Amino acid sequence: MENTCSATEVSSKLYEFGPEARRIIVVGDLHGDFASFVNALIIGREESGSHVVFLGDYGDRGTNGVEITEALIELSQDPTIVALKGNHEGYPDSGIPHWGRTELDLISEVEKKRGNWDEYFKETLQPFYKRLPIAAILPGKLLFVHGGISDKIQELDNIKHPTTEISDEVLWNDPGEIPGVQPNSRGYGKEFGQDISETVLKKIGAVAMVRSHKPILAKAGPHISHDGMIVTISSCRRYGRPHCLEIKPDNLLTMNGGARFGYTIRYLDQN
């Protein structure tokens, strides 16, 4: 399959990896951790044919969200860099999300480093956020998202051209232990059971999913749930040891009745 979408296009909210991606580095929540961001890029440059996919949440709760975001904007023309949207990039046109300013360190960081928030948001951040895909897929194998999946997804086109509800749930949802769909304990989004993972992944032609969004689960390394169908990672020092995944599509194993796939854990605090 040819690459049908780039990180800079707005017509589709799904990035599709093509056969030229012989190695994929998957980076979780960064939350202003610039050192981990740089180390992930270094790892991505180790081999030709490598792509780096970032799963969102570039600012807030850390000191260098501005620098990470501006670097990603500069890299947006690089076809080997894929930046997905996280819930912390889910700003409405007002520039103030529904949860208010109290948890948004990026606002105060921008005001300290770049001046007026409203101006910087409208001229720099909003255009960037609006063109970010909400998911990436390695066809027939893996889905990459920030949060999770929605039980409203019936086919891959629902991710390419999502409703507002589906987009919000992909950014906010978490895997849960109870079958079906339940209210999310974080107060927004939903928790989805293993049955939902099985059903939706099958419908979109994937066997497993890599996500972030809940880095506390991955304090020491990747967290596995839903019988191997979901891997949660964290790339931010604030939540333990930062890491990313190195995945080689040609070496992936897919199995019915519980997905398993091979990856190498690369820690981001070693350089």
CATH number for the domain spanning 189: value is: 3.60.21.10
Residue 100 domain flag: yes
Residue 259 is predicted with a pLDDT of 52
In a domain, 131, yes or no: yes
Give the model's pLDDT for residue 114.
96
Inside any domain, residue 240: yes
Q: Which residue has the higher pLDDT, 141 or 250?
A: 141
Q: What's the pLDDT at 4?
A: 34
What pLDDT is recorded for position 251? Answer: 74
5: pLDDT strictly greater than 70: no
Model confidence band, residue 22 (pLDDT cutoffs 50, 70, 90): very high
In a domain, 3, yes or no: no
pLDDT of residue 212: 97
Binning pLDDT at 50, 70 and 90, where does residue 185 land? confident
What tokens does 246 get? 């190195």
Beta-sheet pairing, 174-175 with 190-192: parallel
Q: Is 201 in contact with 142 (CB distance < 8 Å)?
A: no
Residue 4 lies in a domain: no
As beta bridge partners, residue 24 has 51, 247
Helix (H) or strand (E) holding 10: none
Instruction: Dig out the tokens for 21 from the structure.
Output: 């991606």
Q: How far is CA 27 from the centre of its chain?
A: 8
Output the pLDDT for position 11: 64
| pLDDT, tens digit, 9 for 90 and up, residues 60-100 | 988 999 999 999 999 999 999 999 999 999 999 999 877 65
> The pTM is what?
0.92
The whole-number pLDDT of residue 186 equals: 83
Instruction: Specify the number of domains making up the chain.
Output: 1
pLDDT tens, 156-173? Answer: 999 999 999 999 999 999
Straight-line distance from the first to the last Cα atom of the chain, in angstroms, rounded to the nearest whole number = 36
Please write the tens of the pLDDT for every residue from 204-226. Answer: 999 999 999 999 999 999 999 99
The DSSP code for 16 is: E
Q: Is the separation of the CB atoms in 147 and 169 below 8 Å? A: yes
What DSSP state is assigned to residue 180? S
Residue 98 belongs to some domain of the structure: yes
Q: Is residue 141 part of a domain?
A: yes
User: Reduced to 3 states, what is the DSSP secondary structure of residue 234?
Assistant: strand
Average pLDDT, the chain: 90
Average pLDDT (196-201) is 96
Residue 5 lies in a domain: no
Domain extent for 22: 14-267
